[in-house]
Amino acid sequence: MTRNSRFSYNIFTEKNVIRNAILYFKSNMIPIILVIFLAIVIIVPMFYSYFPANLNLKEGDVSSHEIIANRDVSYIDVAKTEELRGKMVESVSPVYLLNRSNEDEVFTGVEDFFDSLTSILSGNDDEVLKREKLLELVANNTQIADFFLHEPIGRIEKLHKALEDIVYKLMLSGVRSDKISQATKIGLEAIAGLDLMEEEKEILIHVLHRTIQPNLIYDKEATEREIEKVKNAVSPVVVTILKGDVVVREGEVITADKVKTLKALGVIRTTDNWKVVLSIFVFTCIFLLLSFIAIKRSAAVNPDNIVKKTAEFAIIVSIVYIVSIFLENVSLYLIPIPLLAMLIFAFFDFPTALTVTVAFSFLLSFPLDLRSPVMFAVIVSSIISMFLLRKMAKTITFLYAGIVGGLSMSFIALFIGLASKLVFKQIGLNVAFGFINFLGGSIVALGMVFVMDHLFNEATVLRLLELGDTGAPLLRELFSKAPGTYQHSMIVSNLASSAAEKIGANALLARVGAYYHDIGKMFHPYFFTENQQAIPNIHDELSPNLSKTVIINHTKDGIHLAKKSRLPQEIIDFIATHHGTTVVSYFYHKSKESNGVVRKSDFRYPGPLPHNKETAIVMLADAVEALTHTVSNPDFNKIEEMVNSIIKSRVSDGQLSESDITFKDLAEIKDSFVRTLLSLFHTRESYPEIDESGND
């Protein structure tokens, strides 16, 4: 089967792009106008929220009236943030690296000095040569040289040990490269406190100055990294103003902080206003673009109903958006996103509802300051509700979806409240509002769907459930005027709905479409064999051409009656397509026998052909049910052969060429038809008669 290529027109396929673009916009003028209207509905409240009034105020002015925040707003105070970061940077200590090689050099230097001193004093040189070597060692300090010329070797060892201890303690505590003088001072103080002669202290001081080196070297890169780390750890100073807060009182002097707040609220115009305007425009365009793509890809939309569907979308979003603006004053947990999800699902499908719900939630996060946890809670709970609605078979399923969605929303709201450490009263309100949002949304959705599906004559699930009630006026009339046709339609509906469910098509639509596919027979019921149980066949007295005309006209009569009764177009399609362009073969062959040359085209139904799986299934089910009455003693083989012949003939005649049904689907449909017919024509076992008189 070939798939129906809806919306396959591409404005860029021709060379003249501009001409084709103009044609495209002309052909979609009404949907475009509706989208523009929707954009205005969305953008105007946003601008009002962000730019309520523009005052010519500056620092030092006196406010002539009280200014109250029109919305929640949070902004980063850059100056205070930088001030806080500066203070934190001042507390950062420089980073130093420990240099062990310098330590080794210091201790080696001390040891070398005293080794040299000992070597000079213990040597065999005469006194004059020893004095010269000492002067060289102690930097020509004659006083020290003369003193140590006669110093005992044992005292030298004691001085060595004393200075080594002082140097060890200095190195242990760390000698910084930028504070070596401070470390030297500490060493000098330690030497001064020793019980030594002045000349002995002098030589220790000399050695200390000569050998001391820093073992803590300043690491500039590591220090800068630490400073950057501290800067990044400082959270921005966020100023939060709640809606309704008094920002400036009458007669109050405008400070620099007040100017920042008023700019954040949009009360004072700034050079950054264009960014807000651009953000609003971009957010709205993204939402509308995603929604438009989702709508055009929806299985519920085709070129014939694009205007109606766009109007429905515009009405739903406008109502929900306006209600959201008002309900935000009460609680963000009351924003009616669940209502939007249910309505879009009812008039479109699950993928469209999911896309629009997520996009709309992000759009609302801009003017309503809808925080991420709340968005998450609403989106997840809405998806749960839509999953329940996917299997909707009763009106009350809307309420089930609202209750389950509300419970999930309440649970998430409780978790968010506890995680945010809110007071229990606020948590309780959020939980209650979340549940009310979903339950109330489901009730309102029921009412809106009922009104809108009658206003736009839509085949929503609720409308199909209403039309599928066997007590519906047209079905009661069909039962009264054409009981055989009524029974035929009931069997066709069972065949069609079972097959549709098996291949994943819309079983409810197939069932209801089958109920109404033959309502045109009410105008001339006795011209159709299923209504001729107690009367002769009228066609025996008529010409084949006249009989053919009456038979074929039952589709036209059915369409006329359906439109008069305001049945949805989706149901009318079943009436128009259930015979496609097939031939009324009985009267064609009868006419051929009597007249000889007859054109087959004169005995064909006018069509159109089925254009989706549901209408194709009803066409096959209608033919199968009619043919079963010609099968005597039906069994599995006979029924399977009959169903195969019907499907094969419809395929070869091209009756399914415009539907999106596949050969795999046809195999599943055949199997479903056979099983259903076997259950309808099953035979009972023979039981022996029982003598109720009690006699054996």
Spell out the long-range contacts of 114-121 with Cβ–Cβ below 8 A and sequence spacing 24 or more. 114/156, 114/157, 114/159, 114/160, 114/163, 114/207, 117/148, 117/156, 118/153, 118/156, 118/157, 121/148, 121/149, 121/151, 121/153, 121/156
Lowest mean pLDDT among 2-11, 444-453, 645-654: 2-11
Task: Look up the CATH architecture of domain 468-680.
Answer: Orthogonal Bundle (1.10)
The dihedral region occupied by 506, where left means phi > 0, alpha psi between -120 and 50, and beta the remainder, is beta
- The residues spanned by each domain of the chain are 17-27+33-44+273-457, 52-77+237-265, 96-218, 468-680
Residue 647 has pLDDT above 50, yes or no: yes
pLDDT score recorded for residue 394: 63
Angle of helix 29-50 relative to helix 17-27, nearest 10 degrees, comes to: 80
Residues 6+ apart with CB under 8 A from 473: 565
Nearest CA among 41, 31, 51, 70 for reference residue 324: 41
Largest CA distance in the chain: 164
Residue 353 has pLDDT above 80, yes or no: yes
pLDDT score recorded for residue 2: 44
Residue 683 has pLDDT above 70, yes or no: no
pLDDT score recorded for residue 334: 85
**Helices (H), ranges, 28-176:** 29-50, 78-90, 100-121, 127-137, 142-148, 153-173
Residue 684 has pLDDT above 50, yes or no: no
Nearest CA among 228, 227, 305, 315 for reference residue 35: 315
The span from the CA of 16 to the CA of 138, in Å, is 101
Angle of helix 569-577 relative to helix 544-564, nearest 10 degrees, comes to: 170
Q: Kind of pairing, strands 73-76 and 216-218?
A: unpaired
The span from the CA of 70 to the CA of 50, in Å, is 9
Average pLDDT of span 33-52 = 64
pLDDT in tens, 478-532: 999 999 999 999 999 999 999 999 998 889 999 999 999 999 999 988 888 887 7
Q: How far lies 359's CA from each of 74, 289, 515, in Å?
A: 23, 10, 38
Q: What band does 8 get if pLDDT is binned at 50, 70 and 90? A: very low
- End-to-end CA distance of the chain: give it in Å, rounded: 65
The span from the CA of 38 to the CA of 138, in Å, is 96
The span from the CA of 571 to the CA of 509, in Å, is 8
Average pLDDT of span 340-357 = 86
Of 586 and 337, the one with more pLDDT: 337
Q: What band does 675 get if pLDDT is binned at 50, 70 and 90? A: very high
pLDDT score recorded for residue 292: 80
Q: Which of 125-134, 276-285, 436-445 has the highest mean pLDDT?
A: 436-445
pLDDT score recorded for residue 75: 66
Q: pTM value?
A: 0.62
Average pLDDT of span 128-140 = 80
pLDDT score recorded for residue 555: 92
Residues 495 and 624 sit within 8 Å (Cβ to Cβ): yes
Angle, CA of 162, 166 and 171, to the nearest 5°: 145
Mean pLDDT rounded to a whole number for the chain: 79
pLDDT in tens, 270-303: 555 566 667 777 877 888 888 888 888 887 887 7
Average pLDDT of span 447-452 = 89
Residue 426 has pLDDT above 60, yes or no: yes
Of 82 and 515, the one with more pLDDT: 515
pLDDT score recorded for residue 14: 46
Residues 405 and 380 sit within 8 Å (Cβ to Cβ): no
Residues 6+ apart with CB under 8 A from 434: 333, 377, 381, 406, 409, 410, 412, 413
Residue position matching structure tokens 């039952």: 554
Residues 314 and 38 sit within 8 Å (Cβ to Cβ): yes
Please tell me whether residue 335 adopts helix, strand or coil conformation.
Answer: coil
The one-letter code for the residue type at 11 is I
Residue 692 has pLDDT above 50, yes or no: no
The span from the CA of 568 to the CA of 329, in Å, is 40
Q: How far is CA 361 from the centre of its chain?
A: 8
Average pLDDT of span 8-28 = 55
Q: Which of 69-73, 275-279, 460-464, 659-663 has the highest mean pLDDT?
A: 659-663
pLDDT in tens, 540-579: 777 778 888 888 999 999 999 999 999 999 999 999 999 9
Of 690 and 452, the one with more pLDDT: 452
CB atoms within 10 A of CB 637: 9
pLDDT-above-70 percentage for the chain: 83
Burial of 381 per CB tally in 10 Å (0-12, 13-18, 19+): buried
> How many residues are there in the chain?
696
The one-letter code for the residue type at 643 is V
Please tell me whether residue 79 adopts helix, strand or coil conformation.
Answer: helix
Task: Give the count of alpha carbons within 13 A of 563, CB side only.
Answer: 7
Q: What residues pair up with 239 in beta bridges, in sequence order?
A: 75
Residues 6+ apart with CB under 8 A from 261: 73, 75, 239, 241, 247
The span from the CA of 592 to the CA of 180, in Å, is 123
Quote the tokens at residue 628.
């079963």
Angle, CA of 670, 574 and 603, to the nearest 5°: 85
The span from the CA of 309 to the CA of 7, in Å, is 14
Please tell me whether residue 242 adopts helix, strand or coil conformation.
Answer: coil
The span from the CA of 572 to the CA of 101, in Å, is 96
Residue 645 has pLDDT above 80, yes or no: yes
Residues 595 and 641 sit within 8 Å (Cβ to Cβ): no
Nearest CA among 615, 583, 605, 610 for reference residue 514: 615
pLDDT score recorded for residue 670: 94
pLDDT-above-90 percentage for the chain: 18
Q: What band does 607 get if pLDDT is binned at 50, 70 and 90? A: confident
Q: What band does 42 get if pLDDT is binned at 50, 70 and 90? A: low
Quote the tokens at residue 73.
């707003």
Nearest CA among 601, 606, 564 for reference residue 581: 606
Residue 693 has pLDDT above 50, yes or no: no
Q: What band does 27 get if pLDDT is binned at 50, 70 and 90? A: low
pLDDT in tens, 144-201: 777 777 777 778 888 888 888 888 888 888 777 777 888 788 888 888 888 888 887 8
Average pLDDT of span 94-112 = 79
Q: Which of 253-262, 391-400, 428-437 has the highest mean pLDDT?
A: 428-437
Residue 644 has pLDDT above 90, yes or no: yes
Q: How far lies 614's CA from each of 503, 527, 640, in Å?
A: 10, 27, 21
pLDDT score recorded for residue 568: 92
Residues 79 and 320 sit within 8 Å (Cβ to Cβ): no
H/E stretch holding 499: helix 483-503
Please tell me whether residue 471 adopts helix, strand or coil conformation.
Answer: coil
Quote the tokens at residue 393.
């078979």
pLDDT score recorded for residue 56: 63
Residue 669 has pLDDT above 90, yes or no: yes
**SS3 of the chain: helix, strand, coil, percent, to 5:** 65, 5, 30
DSSP string, 560-580: HHHHHTT--HHHHHHHHHSST
Residues 6+ apart with CB under 8 A from 668: 499, 502, 503
